[in-house]
A and B are shown apart, each in its own frame.
Chain A
Amino acid sequence: MSLPTRVLYVDLTKKVFHVEDRRDLFENYIGGVGVASKLLLEECPKGADPLGPENPIIFAIGPLTGLFPLASKTVAMFKSPLTGNLGESHAGGRSAVSIRMAGYGAIVIKGASEHPVYLSIYNDKVYFRDALALWGVRSSFTIGRVLRELEPYPGFRTIMRIGRAGENLVRYASVITETYRHFGRLGLGAVFGSKKLKAVVISGSSTIKVNDMKRYREVYDNIYNLSVKSPIMKKYHDLGTPANVNPLNLMKALPTMNLSQAYFEKAEEISGEALAEKYLGRRVACGHCPTACIHIAALREPYEDEPYFYKTTMISYDYELIYSLGSMLGIGTPEGLLKLIDEVEIQGLDAISTGVVLAWATEMLQRGLISEKETNNLKLQWGDYSTYIKAVRFIVNQPNDFYKALARGVEYASSIYGGKDFALAFGSNEMAGYHTGPLFYGTLLTGARHSHLDSAGYSFDEKNVKSHLTPTPEDGASMILNEEIWRQILTSLVICLFARGIYDEKIVKDALSIVGLNMDGATLKQKGLEILRMKYEFKLREGFDPKNLRIPKRITETETPLGKIDEEYLKSLINNYFSKLQLTSLPP
């Protein structure tokens, strides 16, 4: 059958599972974000503790997974322990193809185990395996290595795992898949940890029947040719996302040293070009994506205790990491940056949140708002990567109240220690790296998960920089709302958002027709709007109120390429966004 309609329900408390055919979900909400949002409303009770057994983990793939190139992502949804509200994170690797080949459209994991376990899912079988010995292991890399050996079917599986950050419930702990991809944002790793769930291995092998094989091959070839021959994916293939470092810096939009400035003097040294030239060791791809945007640096270092004794560490780098763990912390040496990235991977933290939290802590110390008593004798200062590596370990081990606060995110930490004006979180989620103009911040404020990927306002800002035009708040709200609506479709299919230039309305319609979903452009947009409203239904139920959105003063102080951010403009944009979205249950 062409549509993935089976949903696997796993209960970690009772150690039981069952499968339901939920054709209703996939026919109505397509897959991915659409289906997962509906499942979240069904499975997550109102007011659930994000770290309680009642919080569900929902993985969903879409109707194009396993059939078309660039449909390479899995959506995870849950109640976020970082924001206390809607949690949504996407990852690639082999996760999406493996879930589909195991025979599922979605997987729901509820309950909590008393002792550490990991799940092995092989087609129709689910095994609850003991993970007591894996709990507390220092490096997430080791967990990957052990599970690769323990579990069968290499090449047909995904190995999702948490590091010690997840075990210790750091609210922005990540789930790592295939070593270099992550469900990074909003703390899925802590939800795993709260359930004593160390890892999930999913594998399977199956075929997908397609009614019109000839037409399927035609649509496939069209997408394939666009993905390898047109310039759309070239940037991601060549330098990868770090291609953005130099242009954003030259535009003066690269947040630097906690956004005290938007230009980093040493950006060139940690740019995509510099890293590719001196360190790039390998490029790899997610399952069913020819682009290979994953760039892995080979860092060769001598051991100091013995001559001619070296180690080579393979470290994946991306734009957001270069921003959050590089410019944001004033780190301008590639080696220092790579070592810090490696430590964040070892511990299993979200890189963006970690960098933003540490940048705030550094400024707090500089301003004398905290002392070295709070930082546990660490003298945090811009560029000092070895001290930041120690700080990352403290965030995970939480030796005192200050690090316990840091482990809950910058919104929480600044509510205790002050420094809110330069605590760079929106809807309690730490910001991504684009000080491009008002629409980027519009996205962070209005986006359902307060992520730059919700509606990519930075992309509109960049166009506006070129045309020297800033839209009215009303037009700006329309732009980001329409983009967010369309992205609900793309993330329900589920395709990688890097491929949004390929999957236009026509291609989406063609691809969906192959799996028997015939939707015209108007229907697609209506579905996108419905899905977005469903997400907001959850948010409002869990206490979201747009009136409470905080705008950190810092973003209005540092000039963007479009001038200084006007707080009133943003407030008007927020109002326009919500009046256009027409939510029935919005608080007065």
Chain B
Amino acid sequence: MLMISRLAVVDANRCVGCQLCMFACNRRFGMGGLARSSIQVRSVGGIEHGFTVVVCRACPDPPCAKVCPTDALRIRRGGGVILDQSKCIGCGLCVKACPFGAVFWDYESNKPEICVHCGYCANYCPHGVLKMEVLSA
């Protein structure tokens, strides 16, 4: 039976702001740099106050999918969405619909970047911020 899991932000207070997760996300998809990240780390109004980690939380009933006019966002088993590039017209409604700001934008392809919950980034978080959570077996 297929394991279904999601990427979880276990404890953002442990985040040191190194952004290795963001670089990992790009690498996973064949690039160096940061532009293709589906996860973002930024300070909470200055580094002295710590960091926030913004990433898709795998909503069971995701608002980004609801507002998509072309059904390009398919609901993923276990929550979240899978993007069908061929259907996406780049309208950006999904970006506005996510209250977490976890739908990012790839300006090169003019399409959204949304976490697919592969867990590659969690392998590069040495501080216990990110973890893969198994939802069901």
* Residues of chain A at the chain B interface (Cβ within 8 Å): 2, 66-67, 69, 97, 100-101, 144-145, 148, 154-156, 178-180, 205-210, 213, 216-217, 220, 224, 228, 282-292, 296, 314
Is A179 a contact of B46 with CB atoms below 8 Å?
yes
Is A207 a contact of B33 with CB atoms below 8 Å?
yes
Is A155 a contact of B32 with CB atoms below 8 Å?
no
Contact of A282 among B27, B48, B126 (CB under 8 A): B48
State in angstroms the CA–CA spacing of A156 and B23 once bound together: 12
State in angstroms the CA–CA spacing of A282 and B127 once bound together: 13
Is A97 a contact of B31 with CB atoms below 8 Å?
no
Contacts of B40 in A (CB 8 A): 155
State in angstroms the CA–CA spacing of A101 and B58 once bound together: 29
Say yes or no: A206-B30 contact (C-beta < 8 A), given A284-B16, A288-B20, A292-B16: no
Asked if B42 lies at the interface with its beta carbon under 8 angstroms from chain A, I say: yes
Is A154 a contact of B43 with CB atoms below 8 Å?
yes
Interface residues of B: mostly helix, strand, loop or mixed?
loop
Asked if B5 lies at the interface with its beta carbon under 8 angstroms from chain A, I say: no
Is B35 a contact of A155 with CB atoms below 8 Å?
no
Is A207 a contact of B32 with CB atoms below 8 Å?
yes
State in angstroms the CA–CA spacing of A213 and B107 once bound together: 22
A-B contact pairs, 12 of them (CB 8 A): A97-B19, A145-B45, A207-B35, A217-B27, A220-B27, A285-B17, A285-B18, A288-B20, A290-B18, A290-B20, A290-B126, A292-B16
Residues B66-112 near A (CB distance < 8 A)? 107-108
State in angstroms the CA–CA spacing of A101 and B19 once bound together: 13
Nearest 8 CB-CB pairings of A with B: A155-B42, A208-B32, A314-B48, A292-B16, A285-B18, A207-B31, A285-B16, A208-B33
Say yes or no: A287-B31 contact (C-beta < 8 A), given A282-B48, A292-B127: no
Is B34 a contact of A67 with CB atoms below 8 Å?
no
A209 closest partner in B (C-beta): B31
Contact of B32 among A66, A154, A156, A283 (CB under 8 A): A66
State in angstroms the CA–CA spacing of A197 and B107 once bound together: 31
- Smallest beta-carbon distance B60→chain A, Å: 28
State in angstroms the CA–CA spacing of A66 and B33 once bound together: 5
Which of B31, B48, B124: most chain A Cβ within 10 A?
B48
Contacts of B48 in A (CB 8 A): 179-180, 282, 296, 314
Is A66 a contact of B34 with CB atoms below 8 Å?
yes
Is B50 a contact of A144 with CB atoms below 8 Å?
no
State in angstroms the CA–CA spacing of A100 and B127 once bound together: 25
- Smallest beta-carbon distance B107→chain A, Å: 7
Say yes or no: A156-B34 contact (C-beta < 8 A), given A179-B46, A207-B26, A296-B48: yes
Asked if B4 lies at the interface with its beta carbon under 8 angstroms from chain A, I say: no
State in angstroms the CA–CA spacing of A429 and B126 once bound together: 38
Contacts of A156 in B (CB 8 A): 34
B45 closest partner in A (C-beta): A148
- Smallest beta-carbon distance A464→chain B, Å: 34
A69 closest partner in B (C-beta): B20
Asked if B47 lies at the interface with its beta carbon under 8 angstroms from chain A, I say: yes
State in angstroms the CA–CA spacing of A101 and B36 once bound together: 12
Contact of B31 among A145, A208, A282, A290 (CB under 8 A): A208
- Smallest beta-carbon distance A525→chain B, Å: 27
Contact of A210 among B31, B46, B126 (CB under 8 A): B31
Binary per-residue interface labels of chain B (1-37) against chain A in the complex, 1 for a CB within 8 Å, 0 otherwise: 0000000000000001111100100110011111110
Give the contact-size bracket for chain B.
20 to 34
Asked if B41 lies at the interface with its beta carbon under 8 angstroms from chain A, I say: yes
Contacts of A206 in B (CB 8 A): 33-35
Is A287 a contact of B26 with CB atoms below 8 Å?
no
State in angstroms the CA–CA spacing of A209 and B33 once bound together: 8
Is A179 a contact of B47 with CB atoms below 8 Å?
yes
Is A100 a contact of B47 with CB atoms below 8 Å?
no
State in angstroms the CA–CA spacing of A216 and B26 once bound together: 12
- Smallest beta-carbon distance B47→chain A, Å: 5
Say yes or no: A101-B33 contact (C-beta < 8 A), given A207-B26, A282-B50, A284-B47: yes
Is A207 a contact of B17 with CB atoms below 8 Å?
no
B13 closest partner in A (C-beta): A282
State in angstroms the CA–CA spacing of A100 and B19 once bound together: 15
Contacts of A97 in B (CB 8 A): 19, 34
Residues B48-64 near A (CB distance < 8 A)? 48, 50
State in angstroms the CA–CA spacing of A314 and B50 once bound together: 11
With A207-B108, A220-B27 given, can you name 6 additional A-B contacts, CB distance below 8 Å? A67-B32, A205-B34, A205-B107, A207-B32, A217-B27, A287-B19
Is B32 a contact of A216 with CB atoms below 8 Å?
yes
Say yes or no: A210-B43 contact (C-beta < 8 A), given A228-B126, A290-B20, A314-B48: no
Is A101 a contact of B17 with CB atoms below 8 Å?
no
- Smallest beta-carbon distance A229→chain B, Å: 9
State in angstroms the CA–CA spacing of A208 and B17 once bound together: 21
Contacts of B19 in A (CB 8 A): 97, 155, 287-288
Is A178 a contact of B20 with CB atoms below 8 Å?
no
Contacts of A286 in B (CB 8 A): 18
- Smallest beta-carbon distance A61→chain B, Å: 13
- Smallest beta-carbon distance B104→chain A, Å: 10
State in angstroms the CA–CA spacing of A291 and B26 once bound together: 21
Is B43 a contact of A155 with CB atoms below 8 Å?
yes
Which of A179, A207, A286: most chain B Cβ within 10 A?
A207
- Smallest beta-carbon distance A382→chain B, Å: 30
Contacts of B41 in A (CB 8 A): 155
Contact of B27 among A145, A155, A178, A216 (CB under 8 A): A216
Contact of B33 among A100, A178, A180, A220 (CB under 8 A): A100
Contacts of A180 in B (CB 8 A): 47-48
- Smallest beta-carbon distance B5→chain A, Å: 22
- Smallest beta-carbon distance A548→chain B, Å: 42
Is B31 a contact of A144 with CB atoms below 8 Å?
no
- Smallest beta-carbon distance B113→chain A, Å: 11
A313 closest partner in B (C-beta): B48
- Smallest beta-carbon distance B119→chain A, Å: 15
- Smallest beta-carbon distance A451→chain B, Å: 25
A282 closest partner in B (C-beta): B50
State in angstroms the CA–CA spacing of A310 and B2 once bound together: 54
Contacts of A216 in B (CB 8 A): 27, 32
